[in-house]
Chain A
Amino acid sequence: MRVALEGLCRSFPGVRAVQDVSLDYEPGRLYALVGENGAGKSTLMHLLYGMLPPDAGRILVDGRPVRLAGSQDAIRLGIGMVHQHFMLVDTLTAAENVVLGAEPGRWGRLDREAARAAVRADGERFGLAVDPDAPLESLSVGEAQRVEILKVLYRGASFLIFDEPTGVLTPQEARGLFAILRRLRDEGKTVVLISHKLDEVLAVAETIDVMRRGRHVGRLAREEADAERLARMMVGREVLLRVEKPPAAPGPPVLEARGLGLARRPGRAELADVSFTLRRGEVLGIAGVEGNGQRELAALVTGLLRPDAGELRLDGRSLAGLTPRRARDLGIRHVPEDRQRTGLVLDMSLRENLILGEEGGPAAGRAGVILPGRVATLARRRVSEYDVRVADTRQSARSLSGGNQQKLVLARELDGDPRLLVACHPTRGVDVGAIEYIHRTLLAKRARGLAVLLFSSELSELLALSDRIGVLYRGRLTAVLDADAVDEETLGLYITGARGVERA
């Protein structure tokens, strides 16, 4: 089926997410849609999938204009979406997830056998084998993604949208996904891949559309495209893809971990025998696929969890019984990975967020009372020092963009020359300009002696900022490498356990 978008527009409060976008899609081809975070790619596809109504413009399927009142309509037309954040129900089985909403069965009964059969059949046809009776929570990320794809195929989709599918996959798993995408294309489906990862897009797409600030700025064939050209179209200016990093001059050890261990518990990865040393003025990056222990390691260092084995020392002093409050007092600061849930209190003002953690201290007031004047001064200073673009510090944190929110967190955590910063995915969901700023700020603090424990899923970010890179695989530190001595491909091998793990 041919799908055409004509003059689509969609706004949200304060933001014109999609402005006058017109595109044409032919069957049996593999398209990519690229753009920065916030460029409008996801919104555009949500319009196409019927999850949002457009403010203006129309959608045509095989030449006929269609009105999508909800995703049911899109599904009926044969449009399917594989979401970035899986829309799967953990407590149901794979087959139940696939058929949910279109269940086989009569008189209200659920026909489990038919569901299983359908899952097996599609799985074989498209190379997406999965055990129909497996409860979803037991599946790996790659397998869960296959269930997402099966969901879409079960409903007879011929136009498939993939929204940032490789975010949680390793480079090797991603290659497996690309094989599936090609297979789907070969079977005559239209595939649209939304991504901000240019290397992947260039590896698999035939036609590439670029969006910037809600507008469609160009369509290139694969042959005409390369990373620099695409990046320039996405950002509109020369992009510094890599920030200047002065050579390392590490000082005495700040943080020492010896044999850290954490027992396995539901919802938590385990850690075993993790040992490393972090020095003053050094950035130690920790690479690993989500779920291998990075979150848990960060929680140990910041006092959110207690280790079941081993110890941590800060400047030689033991950190037993560490709590987040005590960690703070000792100079350990934390930029958490989910700024909206754990980094900021969104419904508080910027001022109030900036004193979180110090609300009882002299910076905010005296004798159990908060002095608004003092808080206001503090807020103004930090906001200007850390480039948080805002008119009034009394605004709520919710009103800020992702990049500004992240800078706000940094302003709170980095102010006052802490000894150690634990930064978790500091540039996730942040626009390119803010990424540049954050990287420069981190490196500047590093030059002044800050020790940084950096967790990131962006291998390029780890390579750009780290002096050394540790690899967490299944809860063990399988390697600590010199950042200058590795590249992304090699790191990919380490984080999937293809290298670094002793084989018996």
Chain B
Amino acid sequence: MPSPRWRRALSAAGEAVWPPAAALGLSFAIGAAIVAAIDENPLRVLPLIFAPGLGSADGFARVLFDATPLILTGLSVAYAFRAGLFNIGGEGQLYAGAFLAAWTALALPGLPRPVALPLAVLAAAAGGALWGAIPGWLKARFGVHEVINTIMMNFLAVGLTGWLLERFLQEPGQMIPHTPEIPAAYQLQPFAQGPGGAWLGLDRANPLGASLLVALAAAVAVGLVFRRGVEGYRLRAVGLSPAAARYGGIGVGGVTVRAMAVSGALAGLVGVHEVLLYRHRFLDNFSSGLGFLGIAVALMGKNHPLGIVLAALLFGFLNTGALEIDIFTQVPRELVVVLQALIILLVVSFGELALWRRRRRRREEAA
């Protein structure tokens, strides 16, 4: 007799939480060891990671700001993964989206705000969608595995956007190549600069803005599609058994391309964050591995929208913490990069271990 529903839900939640929690604990322990090995005090260094985010509303807002693009790239990875696809191309897709958004803004400067802003958001999504659809189509049509292709597309995106920037859009005489500022109609202003800023306790320079809302809305939308959507069903069927899906009538190729396109679009929306909100321009090489961190976020969040938001939050803490460490200690900020990588490695390892234990327990119950 299966146990009552609430008990099963609780135990399922517990099982979902302990691997990431244990992974976090072990990562920090290793981090502490590393810090100690370079003659610094781990008890002083490590809490600094969380200090800014937990210390004030302004600090927490910065954490949210850092988390925003990670929510999007995490959703991107999870969406494709639902259909059994490894989208490692988030990095390239976000460049494509950001670039297209900037180009649209600069190419159509006269549009009024109610048209301009949605258009730019759409352009960001479309850029990413295109960049994701190409490897998706290659997989659907030729059976080429998406892993290498998406990685190649990353390099192509950085190179292409850089070249296009140089050729057509560059503001002359700059050290780091970037476009001119986008017209005001396309710009998103940070909350701090608006009416609610002071009330929320934000410092004038705090960058948090509406891109967070876009990311959260995307998370809700993805969650709904997964749970209740016909497309979500199709994604899942293709991901679990493409052969059975095909025999059952589902067009696997179409699902593949659509999944990669949506996945790319989600990554492309990072353009809203980077270009429309943060810098108000497109900067060459602006991303420092946001796409890859998205993979980490998705893995940690178990490819579930809620988990992804939480994981993104964690990585947001780590990012702001990195700066803190850099400024206030002798420890290089790259320690955080190591921590992030350790976390992923341990999360997936513990996750599998948890799966074993569950399977073994089920076996013992049945016998």
Asked if A and B touch directly (CB within 8 angstroms), the answer is yes
- Contact flags B104-128 to A (C-beta < 8 A → 1, else 0): 0000000000000000000000000
The distance from the CB of A408 to the nearest CB of chain B, in whole angstroms, is: 12
**Which A331-373 residues sit within 8 Å CB-CB of chain B?**
334, 336, 341-348, 352, 355-357, 359-360, 364-365, 368-370
Whether the Cβ atoms of A368 and B362 lie closer than 8 Å is no
Whether the Cβ atoms of B251 and A341 lie closer than 8 Å is no
- Contact flags B226-258 to A (C-beta < 8 A → 1, else 0): 001111111011001101111111110000000
CA distance A347 to B240 in the complex (A): 7
Residues of chain B contacted by A348 (CB below 8 angstroms): 236-237, 240
**Interface: B363 (CB within 8 A):** yes
CA distance A342 to B247 in the complex (A): 6
- Give which listed residue, B231, B233, B250, B366, contacts A325 with CB less than 8 A: B250
**Interface: B2 (CB within 8 A):** yes
CA distance A325 to B234 in the complex (A): 13
**Which B200-231 residues sit within 8 Å CB-CB of chain A?**
228-231
CA distance A356 to B252 in the complex (A): 13
The distance from the CB of B229 to the nearest CB of chain A, in whole angstroms, is: 6
Whether the Cβ atoms of B247 and A304 lie closer than 8 Å is yes
CA distance A88 to B258 in the complex (A): 39
- Give which listed residue, A13, A343, A369, contacts B367 with CB less than 8 A: A13
CA distance A328 to B234 in the complex (A): 16
Whether the Cβ atoms of A304 and B246 lie closer than 8 Å is yes
CA distance A428 to B103 in the complex (A): 60
Residues of chain A contacted by B228 (CB below 8 angstroms): 369-370
Whether the Cβ atoms of B233 and A352 lie closer than 8 Å is yes
Residues of chain A contacted by B362 (CB below 8 angstroms): 13
- Give which listed residue, A327, A344, A359, contacts B233 with CB less than 8 A: A359
Query: Which of the four size classes fits the interface of chain B?
Result: 20 to 34
Whether the Cβ atoms of A336 and B247 lie closer than 8 Å is yes
Whether the Cβ atoms of A341 and B244 lie closer than 8 Å is yes
Query: Which of the four size classes fits the interface of chain A?
Result: 20 to 34
Residues of chain A contacted by B237 (CB below 8 angstroms): 345, 348, 352, 356, 359
Whether the Cβ atoms of B244 and A344 lie closer than 8 Å is yes
Known: A323-B251, A328-B249, A357-B248. A368 touches B367 (CB 8 A): no
- Give which listed residue, A14, A334, A355, A364, contacts B247 with CB less than 8 A: A334
Residue from B231, B244, B363, B366 whose CB has the most chain A CB atoms within 10 Å: B244
Whether the Cβ atoms of A345 and B245 lie closer than 8 Å is yes
Residues of chain B contacted by A347 (CB below 8 angstroms): 240-241
**Interface: A324 (CB within 8 A):** yes
- Contact flags B133-150 to A (C-beta < 8 A → 1, else 0): 000000000000000000
Whether the Cβ atoms of A343 and B230 lie closer than 8 Å is no
Residue of B nearest to A367 (CB): B230
Residues of chain B contacted by A302 (CB below 8 angstroms): 247
CA distance A368 to B241 in the complex (A): 21
Whether the Cβ atoms of A343 and B247 lie closer than 8 Å is yes
Whether the Cβ atoms of B244 and A368 lie closer than 8 Å is no
CA distance A357 to B230 in the complex (A): 11
The distance from the CB of B118 to the nearest CB of chain A, in whole angstroms, is: 22
CA distance A364 to B244 in the complex (A): 18
CA distance A12 to B248 in the complex (A): 31
The distance from the CB of B141 to the nearest CB of chain A, in whole angstroms, is: 15
Residues of chain B contacted by A360 (CB below 8 angstroms): 230
Whether the Cβ atoms of B234 and A359 lie closer than 8 Å is yes
Whether the Cβ atoms of B367 and A11 lie closer than 8 Å is yes
Residues of chain B contacted by A345 (CB below 8 angstroms): 237, 240-241, 244-245
CA distance A501 to B156 in the complex (A): 59
Residues of chain B contacted by A13 (CB below 8 angstroms): 362-363, 366-367
CA distance A356 to B237 in the complex (A): 8
Residues of chain B contacted by A334 (CB below 8 angstroms): 247
Residue from A346, A359, A368 whose CB has the most chain B CB atoms within 10 Å: A359
Residue of B nearest to A366 (CB): B230
**Interface: A392 (CB within 8 A):** yes
CA distance A29 to B40 in the complex (A): 77
Whether the Cβ atoms of A370 and B251 lie closer than 8 Å is no
Known: A345-B245, A348-B236, A356-B237. A368 touches B229 (CB 8 A): yes
Residues of chain A contacted by B363 (CB below 8 angstroms): 12-13
Whether the Cβ atoms of B2 and A359 lie closer than 8 Å is no
CA distance A483 to B142 in the complex (A): 44
Whether the Cβ atoms of B247 and A368 lie closer than 8 Å is no
Residues of chain B contacted by A369 (CB below 8 angstroms): 228-230
- Give which listed residue, B233, B236, B248, B366, contacts A14 with CB less than 8 A: B366
Whether the Cβ atoms of A365 and B236 lie closer than 8 Å is no
Residues of chain A contacted by B241 (CB below 8 angstroms): 341, 344-347
Known A334-B247, A352-B233; 4 more pairs at CB < 8 Å? A324-B249, A345-B240, A356-B249, A359-B230
A-B contact pairs, 11 of them (CB 8 A): A324-B247, A324-B249, A325-B249, A342-B244, A344-B241, A345-B237, A346-B240, A352-B236, A352-B237, A356-B237, A359-B237
Contact residues of B with A, CB < 8 Å?
2, 228-234, 236-237, 240-241, 243-251, 362-363, 366-367
